[in-house]
Structure 1
Amino acid sequence: MLKLAIGCFVAAWALLLLIGLTGNLMWDNRLLWWPLLLLGLSCMLGLTSWDHEQRGYLLLVGVLSFCGMLVYSLFIIIVFAYSGY
């Protein structure tokens, strides 16, 4: 479960970086939902792992994913709402 949570976390940020570097950062791009979904999955896997033996690492990944969702949301608000991109 730890590998899946970390994999979703890394995949979300890698996808967001890839979208930004290719210049497809547009409001109507459907790929912008995938990083948020992957971060949500990673957060869910990390924060619901109370009975797993690697509980500390999973909770850390869950908290980092939750913070990542907040940062991603603020990024979307700043890029699209304030800049009119």
Structure 2
Amino acid sequence: MGHSFKCLSQQMVNLADNFQLLTVNTQLQAFAIDGNQFGKVEECSADFNIIFPAVAIFVVVIAGILALILYQVHLKRKSSAYQRI
């Protein structure tokens, strides 16, 4: 009661044997709509499947950039010390 369901992903809803409804970027609420505003949003599980790989790729890229920067700092420190002749 007072909650809405929101799904940004495509959802196929079977209404009959030969009748399907395709929904995209949908927000639904059945009861307790106050002042033309949806209630607390419940996200659909299909949206999390899209977000997780994007976050994982972002973390891997940031970790790679950080590793390259640290490697460059390490090489610079190593070269500033005394060297063998």
Structure ID, larger Rg: 2
Measured against the shorter chain, the TM-score band is 0.3 to 0.5
* Structure with the largest fraction of strand: 2
Q: TM-score, normalised by structure 1?
A: 0.34
Q: Which has the higher contact order (CA 8 A, sep 6+)?
A: 1
Q: Point out the structure with the larger helix share.
A: 1
Q: TM-score, normalised by structure 2?
A: 0.34
